[in-house]
Structure 1
Amino acid sequence: MNWFVVARMLGMLGLLVGASMVFSLPWAFPAVGKVETFEHDGFWGLIGAIACSLGLGGGLYLWGRFDKHASILRKEAFATVGLGWILAGVLGALPFLLSGSESAPGVKLTPIDAFFESVSGFTTTGASLLTELEDPDLVPRCVMFWRSFTHWLGGMGIIVLFVAILGQLGAGGKAMLKREVPGPITESVRPRVQESALLMWSIYVALSALETVLLMLAHVPLYDALCHSFGTMATGGFSTHNASAGHYNGGPVEAIILVFMILAGVNFSLYYLVFRHRKAELTWKQRIKFLTRDPEFRAYLALIGVTSLVLTISLMANEIYPDTLTALRHSLFTSVSIMTTTGFGSEDFSNWTEFSKGLIFLLMFVGGCAGSTAGGIKVIRWVLLGKIFFLEIEKAFRPNVVRPVRLGKSVIDDRVRNDVVVYFCMIMVIFLSSWLLLITIEPDDLWAKHDEHTAAEKLIDCATAVASTLNNIGPGLGVIGPADNYSGFSQQGKALLTLLMLLGRLELFAILVLFSPQFWRKQ
């Protein structure tokens, strides 16, 4: 492990995070942020956070310059990604702490609380500890903007942005990019890593800008339009309103958010394939075929359609809503929000039927497409797992059959098949062990405070908390439903859930290797 290389990379990352905080400063002023008075605490809290980030980043960079000619290899790439996300979480927590933000009236955010909120933003989880999102006396609007902006930075990946800006990182840059755009099959849409990173960020910025404009045309103020675009395109889910997307009571705003959640859950490489032949004589019908031919994209839309239909039937059968259109609207929005791991809520699904809540819990383990901003296991892994299952079943009665697993026209080699099975096993082991640990460390008082909950429901609520943070979704069931938050969990519980957010966002390995003694050895 070359620590000079890692320090240099982390230093530049710290500088990037610090510079990103500058965009939140204007919202402290009445003329820009539409606040009644100048947000003194928020502004100077951000200034202090910027100074700390630039100071730490600059110090690490200068230290790393002692060996400025060393190249970043695979080990250094893993260390940069894993430690980089932790560093971003620490630096991102400073505005909350230095501004004196409160999770509830009279309850200051602790360092663990601020780190939880920051990591939740960068990992696009959207799990929050804040109880009154619309009260600037608790959290200044400029800090709330930073909270949403962390979504946008983490959505496409701060390391992808890092690679896009700096480039020329060789094989290490490719390893860093792969950890940021995870999935069982990762192919660069361009031969050069920097071009691939720039391409993905260009598409990301364009879609974010388009959504912001459309929301403003639907009479959403610029501040709210930006924050909700950040949360949508990053599939994060932080909102500026306590009622989340339900604040807008349906209509065009909810429809716009719904469409862009679906777009954000699609593999961004497919967008490149659609638009890359600008000079070729291709009709739009021929361009769209790049999408429709993709097995993962088809499965992604099919899952959204089927789950929405099943939820609608369940809700109507139990007379939860008065008409089919309302039931379909909430079913579709919730299915897309959970499956893409966005976490926006149009309705409190904690009040739905037990079957509906069970289906939502299962959706937490699906996720969007590989190469998207969505978290979760990813649709492509479920498609491959299904093919592997059917092949193994056939081999049970035809042991001599030789048939490769195919995805479209591509043959999946044994290494990828093994990786898929191992990943599923690791997710289940981490989920079950974290669930039992959370049940152990959390006091029963949290559930006793809720009249409608009993200590027996602690098992389900802890399971959804683990599933929601591990898959970067945000809301869960029970005490962490769409109308509630994670503020009632103990400090050790919040620390565990924060670790799960990082594990889920980086698909386990970039964080797990940090706990391996062999990883840190020179040879």
Structure 2
Amino acid sequence: MNWLLLCRLLGLVGMLVGASMVFSLPWAFPVFGEATEFETAGFWGICGAIACSLGSGSLLYLIGRKEHGTILRKEALAIVGLSWIYSGILGCLPFLFSGSMVAPDVPMTIPDALFESISGFTTTGASVLRELEDPALVPRSVLFWRSFTHCLGGMGIIVLFVAILSHLGAGGKALMKREVPGPTSEAVRPRVRESAIVMWVIYVAFTLVLALILWLEGMSVFDAFCHSFGSMATGGFSTHNASVGYFNSWLIEFTIAVFMVIAGTNFSLYFLSLKNLRSSKDHSWKHFFAPLRNDIEYRTYLIILASATIFLTYNLLSNQIYNNLPEALRYAGFQAVSIMTTTGYGTGDFDTWNESSKMLLLLLMFVGGCAGSTAGGIKVIRFVLFAKIIWLEIEKSFRPNVVRPVRVGSANIEQGVRNDVTVYFSLVLIIFIFSSLLLTAIEPNTEWRMNKPEKLIDCTSAVVATLNNIGPGVGELGPTENYADFTLSGKVLLTLLMLLGRLELFAILVLFVPSFWKNY
């Protein structure tokens, strides 16, 4: 392991996170009137966090400043995994330094702040804060930082890192490969830095457009930015306890739903669509939509969303949860999109829905969005590949000599990719089972009023929601509840699951393998 190279690059990440906190400072001061004492504390708390981030980052950079070696596979894995942990630690400082509180007379502890920070960076959206709308508990500037961590983590800290730095060369490709989700995600340009810049430009453009639209639809500037960060990063942090349901506007819900679908799509397809449009002679929009229309993962993604919406709408009407079709379609469609894209916004309490509806939402949590998107979950392309692999194995059971390639579109899928998909599904299943058992064992029954069946559902739901970067679950973790009641051990486990889900397991798992750190 090249420790000096590791220190230098981690130092740069620390300084990048510290510099990004500056955007939260203006929100400590209202447009009219004077800032309250608590808002002033938020301002100085963020200033302290900036100083610590820049200071620690500078120190690490100075330690490794003379090392300019090549970033190999081992270093890439270590840099990605440790960068996210380091960013999460720095990101929790504004909560601690500002004196933010979980609830009245309940100050945030270090595990609480770390949970909130990593939940933001990993775009999980799980929270321990009980009262978001009380300015005496969480300063507005800290709430903005909380949402801004979604923006940083959505497209990826390392992707931004690669976009900014010009000297990484081939090492930048190794870093991006470990962070950009999905088994078939490739750079949209031959040069990896240009790819990173393109991805971030598209991502920021969508974010700003959504913020503008939400402002025009009646949100405040503060709410518009925060919900734009949460939507495009598929994170789900809101500035209100009732989430998007607070606004009670079908237009706002429809707008956010559309952009959540956009965020759950492979961003490489947008670049290819724009490239087609510009290169075509007639500049017809049919050329723009061609890459989307021809992509099997995108088509499957839309089919699943449409099918889930129809199923939920039928269930809500037949069980008389809503009394008319437009209302049922409104809530079913928004919740299906929000859960499958792993955003986690809510417009109503879906925990009051019937059991088959909740089961469908739980299954959608595992599916997630497309590879190369900001969404979490296993990813649609892996389910497509896994279905093809299973079908081939079934055929081989009665035709053992058959030789048939696994194809996605016009591309043949290599055996290595097929093995990776199978291993990934197996690891997710193992981690899900083991974590559910462990969380159920370490959480005391008294937290669930001695109701063991309910505790089992809640703990299993918490594992699903954090491992797939959703946020809200079912039961006591529904869209109107949070994770504040979990014990210290439970929060640590769930925080680890959020990191595992966002970095697709391996960049975190290798950190616990002793031989990974040895030099041979």
**Under a length normalisation based on structure 1, what TM-score does the superposition of the two structures give?**
0.97
Instruction: State the alpha-carbon separation in 1 of the partners of residues 479 and 47 from structure 2.
Output: 33
For residues 335 and 33 of structure 1, do their structure 2 counterparts lie closer, same or farther at Cα, with a shift above 3 Å needed? Answer: farther
Q: Is the 8 A contact 2:71 2:174 kept in 1?
A: no
For residues 302 and 90 of structure 1, do their structure 2 counterparts lie closer, same or farther at Cα, with a shift above 3 Å needed? Answer: same
Residue 346 of structure 1 aligns with which residue?
347
- Amino acid of the structure 1 residue aligned with 2:209: L
Q: Is the 8 A contact 1:30 1:37 kept in 2?
A: no
- The equivalences for 1:187-198 within 5 A come to 187-198=186-197
- Amino acid of the structure 2 residue aligned with 1:59: L
In the TM superposition, what is the alpha-carbon distance from 1:41 to its structure 2 partner? Answer: 1.0
In the TM superposition, what is the alpha-carbon distance from 1:35 to its structure 2 partner? Answer: 5.9
- The equivalences for 1:19-168 within 5 A come to 19-31=19-31, 39-67=39-67, 69-168=68-167
Instruction: State the alpha-carbon separation in 1 of the partners of residues 181 and 481 from structure 2.
Output: 31
Instruction: State the alpha-carbon separation in 1 of the partners of residues 72 and 138 from structure 2.
Output: 41
**Deviation string, structure 1 residues 73-124 (Cα, Å, up to 9, x no partner):** 2211111100000000000000000111100000011101000000000000
Secondary structure of the corresponding residue to residue 406 of structure 1: strand
Instruction: State the alpha-carbon separation in 2 of the partners of residues 44 and 375 from structure 1.
Output: 34
Q: Is the 8 A contact 1:78 1:510 kept in 2?
A: yes
Residue 434 of structure 1 aligns with which residue?
435
Instruction: State the alpha-carbon separation in 2 of the partners of residues 329 and 169 from structure 1.
Output: 47
Instruction: State the alpha-carbon separation in 2 of the partners of residues 364 and 109 from structure 1.
Output: 29
**Deviation string, structure 1 residues 326-369 (Cα, Å, up to 9, x no partner):** 11111111111010000000111000001111111111100000
Q: Is the 8 A contact 1:300 1:369 kept in 2?
A: yes
Query: How many residues get paired?
Result: 518
Aligned: 1:285 with 2:282 = no
Q: Is the 8 A contact 2:243 2:345 kept in 1?
A: yes
Q: Is the 8 A contact 2:11 2:58 kept in 1?
A: yes
Instruction: State the alpha-carbon separation in 1 of the partners of residues 353 and 473 from structure 2.
Output: 13
Instruction: State the alpha-carbon separation in 2 of the partners of residues 307 and 388 from structure 1.
Output: 24
- Amino acid of the structure 2 residue aligned with 1:287: F
- Amino acid of the structure 1 residue aligned with 2:484: S
- Amino acid of the structure 2 residue aligned with 1:252: L
Q: Is the 8 A contact 1:472 1:504 kept in 2?
A: yes
**Deviation string, structure 1 residues 405-444 (Cα, Å, up to 9, x no partner):** 1000000011111100100000000000000000010011
Q: Is the 8 A contact 2:336 2:361 kept in 1?
A: yes
Secondary structure of the corresponding residue to residue 31 of structure 1: coil
- Amino acid of the structure 1 residue aligned with 2:20: S
One of 449, 463, 467 as aligned partner of 1:466 = 463
Residue 218 of structure 2 aligns with which residue?
219
Secondary structure of the corresponding residue to residue 366 of structure 2: coil
Residue 6 of structure 1 aligns with which residue?
6
**Deviation string, structure 1 residues 462-495 (Cα, Å, up to 9, x no partner):** 1110000000000001111100000000011000
**Under a length normalisation based on structure 2, what TM-score does the superposition of the two structures give?**
0.98
Instruction: State the alpha-carbon separation in 2 of the partners of residues 47 and 404 from structure 1.
Output: 57
Residue 511 of structure 1 aligns with which residue?
508
Deviates more, 1:149-158 or 1:25-34: 25-34
Secondary structure of the corresponding residue to residue 298 of structure 2: helix
- Amino acid of the structure 1 residue aligned with 2:82: L
For residues 186 and 285 of structure 1, do their structure 2 counterparts lie closer, same or farther at Cα, with a shift above 3 Å needed? Answer: same
**Deviation string, structure 1 residues 134-163 (Cα, Å, up to 9, x no partner):** 111001000000000000000000110000
Aligned: 1:295 with 2:296 = yes
Instruction: State the alpha-carbon separation in 2 of the partners of residues 185 and 444 from structure 1.
Output: 43
In the TM superposition, what is the alpha-carbon distance from 1:34 to its structure 2 partner? Answer: 9.1
**Deviation string, structure 1 residues 218-277 (Cα, Å, up to 9, x no partner):** 011100000000000000000001100111113211111010000000000000010014
Q: Is the 8 A contact 1:168 1:194 kept in 2?
A: no
Residue 484 of structure 1 aligns with which residue?
481
For residues 442 and 32 of structure 1, do their structure 2 counterparts lie closer, same or farther at Cα, with a shift above 3 Å needed? Answer: farther
Q: Gaps (5+ residues) in structure 1?
A: none
For residues 33 and 325 of structure 1, do their structure 2 counterparts lie closer, same or farther at Cα, with a shift above 3 Å needed? Answer: farther
Instruction: State the alpha-carbon separation in 1 of the partners of residues 249 and 426 from structure 2.
Output: 39
For residues 473 and 233 of structure 1, do their structure 2 counterparts lie closer, same or farther at Cα, with a shift above 3 Å needed? Answer: same
Q: Gaps (5+ residues) in structure 2?
A: none
Secondary structure of the corresponding residue to residue 94 of structure 2: helix
Aligned: 1:495 with 2:496 = no
Residue 457 of structure 1 aligns with which residue?
454
Residue 330 of structure 1 aligns with which residue?
331
Instruction: State the alpha-carbon separation in 2 of the partners of residues 330 and 518 from structure 1.
Output: 50
Q: Is the 8 A contact 1:341 1:364 kept in 2?
A: yes
In the TM superposition, what is the alpha-carbon distance from 1:37 to its structure 2 partner? Answer: 6.3
Instruction: State the alpha-carbon separation in 1 of the partners of residues 349 and 144 from structure 2.
Output: 25
**Deviation string, structure 1 residues 185-212 (Cα, Å, up to 9, x no partner):** 1211100110010000000010001001
Q: Is the 8 A contact 1:119 1:501 kept in 2?
A: yes
Deviates more, 1:27-36 or 1:427-436: 27-36
Q: Is the 8 A contact 1:350 1:478 kept in 2?
A: yes
Residue 415 of structure 1 aligns with which residue?
416
Q: Is the 8 A contact 1:26 1:33 kept in 2?
A: no
Instruction: State the alpha-carbon separation in 2 of the partners of residues 405 and 35 from structure 1.
Output: 61
